[in-house]
Structure 1
Amino acid sequence: MARHFGLADLPDTLPIFPISEALLLPRGRLPLNVFEPRYLAMFDDALKTGRRLVGMIQPAGDGDPPALRDVGCAGRIVSFSETEDGRYLVVLAGICRFSPAEELDGFTPYRRVRPDWSRWRRDLGPQEADDGFDRPKFLFLLKRYFSAAGLSTDWDSLKEADEEMLVNSLAMLCPFSAEEKQALLEAEMLGDRRASLIALMEFAIASHGEDGSLQ
C-alpha cells in the first residue's frame, strides 16, 4: 500500500546516492542497479527504517568526494530484489525534493546530509496540473525529437498519460546531460519543467540540422 508523506514525516538525516545523470522527480519511478558495497549497505540500512527513504542527488565536479548539487530528490524504496551475484535491483518512488543544508560526519560508508525540505513542500501535495499544456503540439515535437535522437516509444500510452506523468517521465528518461537534467529537477512548477523540456528538445532537433521550434 502506498504511503503518504507530510512535511512532518520527512527525516532530519538522509542517506544520499550521488549519481550523475540519474534524475528522480516527485511521483516518478526510478529503477536502480546497486552493486557498490557502500551503497548495498546504505540500502540495507534504509530498508530497516519505516520511511525507506534515499536521496538521489547529482555530484558537482570531480573532487574526492565530489561536491553535491544544490537540489536532489528523496525516493522511497517501493521494490527490492537481490540477484544471484549480490546486486540489488531497486525501484524508488519520488517523494519530495530537498536542498542539502549540511553534510554529516559519521561512521557509515555512505554519505548523509541534513536535508532542507521547506522550499519543496508543494511536492507533497496533489499531482500537478499544467494549464498551458498543448498535447498535440507537444507530441508533434516529441516525435521529431525521438526521430532525431534515434529513440522509440509506445505512442498510444503517451497520448493517454496525464501531463505530469508525461512531462516528468520524459525528463527522467530522455538522454539529456547532467546539467540539463539538473535544470529539469530544479524547475519550480510543472509548467516550468515542460517549457524547459521543450527548449531542450528543440535544441536537440536543431543540432541535427532541422528547425525544431514549437510555435
Structure 2
Amino acid sequence: MKLALFPLSAHLLPGGIMPLRIFEPRYQRMVAEAQTREFALCMLDPRQPEAMRNMYPIATRVRIVDFDLLPDGLLGITVLGVARARITDLWQESDGLRVGEVEPLPPWQTSRLNADQHALAKALQDVFEDYPEYAALYQRPEWDDASWVAQRWLEVLPIPVEQKQWLMAAENNQPALSLLSGLLVASH
C-alpha cells in the first residue's frame, strides 16, 4: 500500500488523536488528496544521515476527523490514528512530499486491563486531569481497554524513540504493558 508520509517529532498510535497545523504546500496537497491517497504519521530519526530517509520504520495510518481555518490563517486538521504500518520503501515526489510503500501491521487485540494494571489507567486519568486540552481530544476515553491505555501512554511517555518503535512494532500490547507497569512501580 502506498501512503503519503508526514514526519513529526512525536508518535501517534491507533486510537490516538492529534491536532496538526498544515502550512507547507506539499502537506496542503497531501491533505487535499487524503480522500484518494491516505497518509501516515511517522517519527523523524535525526540520527539518519540521509535526509530523505530520516524516518523510523513504524508509522501510523491516520484519518482526518476535523479541520478548521486557524486564527493565523493556517489550516488546522485533527487526525485519528487508524492502524500501525511498517515503511518498507520510500521516495520523494517533485514537490518534496515523501511517499512510502508500507505493510500493515495487525492491530493489538482489545482486552480489559487486569486487576494489577488498573493503576495504569488511573495514572493516565491523572495526566488527562493535568492537561485538560489533551483530555478534551478524547470524548470517550477507553479506560478499561488495555491496548488503548498502553497506546496513549506510549504517545506521551518520555522514553527513547527506539524503545517506542520496538514496542509499537510488537505483535501485541504485552511488552508495552510490562514496561509501563514496571515504570509505574518504580515511580511510586
Which category of TM-score, normalised to the shorter sequence, fits these structures? 0.7 to 0.9
Q: How does 1:149-168 map to 2 (within 5 A)?
A: 152=130, 161-163=143-145, 164-168=147-151
Match of 1:73 among 57, 60, 81: 60
Work out the number of aligned pairs and report it: 178
Is 1:23 aligned to 2:19, yes or no?
Answer: no
In the TM superposition, residue 185 of structure 1 has moved relative to its aligned partner by 2.2
Equivalent residue, structure 2, for 1:7: none
In the TM superposition, residue 54 of structure 1 has moved relative to its aligned partner by 1.7
Whether contact under 8 Å (1:58, 1:72) holds in the other structure is yes
Q: TM-score, normalised by structure 1?
A: 0.66
Partner letter of residue 60 of structure 2?
C
Question: In structure 2, how many angstroms separate the alpha carbons of the residues matched to 1:202 and 1:168?
Answer: 19
Q: Which has the larger radius of gyration?
A: 1
Partner letter of residue 162 of structure 1?
D
Equivalent residue, structure 1, for 2:168: 185
In the TM superposition, residue 192 of structure 1 has moved relative to its aligned partner by 2.3
Question: In structure 2, how many angstroms separate the alpha carbons of the residues matched to 1:66 and 1:200?
Answer: 32
Shift of the 62–139 alpha-carbon distance from structure 1 to 2, 3 Å rule, reads: same
In the TM superposition, residue 94 of structure 1 has moved relative to its aligned partner by 1.4
Partner letter of residue 43 of structure 2?
Q
Equivalent residue, structure 1, for 2:85: 98
Question: In structure 1, how many angstroms separate the alpha carbons of the residues matched to 2:173 and 2:179?
Answer: 10
Q: How does 1:74-153 map to 2 (within 5 A)?
A: 74-117=61-104, 120-122=105-107, 128-130=110-112, 132=114, 134-138=116-120, 142=123, 152=130
Question: In structure 2, how many angstroms separate the alpha carbons of the residues matched to 1:133 and 1:190?
Answer: 16
In the TM superposition, residue 15 of structure 1 has moved relative to its aligned partner by 0.4
Report the 3-state secondary structure (helix = DSSP H, G, I; strand = E; otherwise coil) of the residue aligned with 1:122: coil
Ranges in structure 2 where 5+ consecutive residues have no aligned partner: 133-137
Question: In structure 2, how many angstroms separate the alpha carbons of the residues matched to 1:106 and 1:99?
Answer: 20
Question: In structure 1, how many angstroms separate the alpha carbons of the residues matched to 2:73 and 2:178?
Answer: 41
Shift of the 68–159 alpha-carbon distance from structure 1 to 2, 3 Å rule, reads: closer
Question: In structure 2, how many angstroms separate the alpha carbons of the residues matched to 1:200 and 1:86?
Answer: 42
Report the 3-state secondary structure (helix = DSSP H, G, I; strand = E; otherwise coil) of the residue aligned with 2:155: helix
In the TM superposition, residue 98 of structure 1 has moved relative to its aligned partner by 1.0
- Deviations 1:89-112, CA, capped at 9 Å, x for gaps: 211111111111111343243100
Shift of the 138–83 alpha-carbon distance from structure 1 to 2, 3 Å rule, reads: closer
Q: TM-score, normalised by structure 2?
A: 0.74
Report the 3-state secondary structure (helix = DSSP H, G, I; strand = E; otherwise coil) of the residue aligned with 2:33: helix
Match of 1:57 among 36, 42, 45: 42
Q: How does 1:169-184 map to 2 (within 5 A)?
A: 169-184=152-167
Partner letter of residue 74 of structure 1?
R
Question: In structure 1, how many angstroms separate the alpha carbons of the residues matched to 2:27 and 2:144?
Answer: 34
Question: In structure 1, how many angstroms separate the alpha carbons of the residues matched to 2:115 and 2:167?
Answer: 16
In the TM superposition, residue 172 of structure 1 has moved relative to its aligned partner by 1.6
Question: In structure 2, how many angstroms separate the alpha carbons of the residues matched to 1:35 and 1:199?
Answer: 40
- Deviations 1:166-212, CA, capped at 9 Å, x for gaps: 33223223444433433442232123222222344556x3xxxxxx4
Question: In structure 2, how many angstroms separate the alpha carbons of the residues matched to 1:200 and 1:36?
Answer: 38
* RMSD between superposed Cα atoms in Å: 3.3
Relative to total residues, which structure has the larger strand share, 1 or 2? Answer: 2
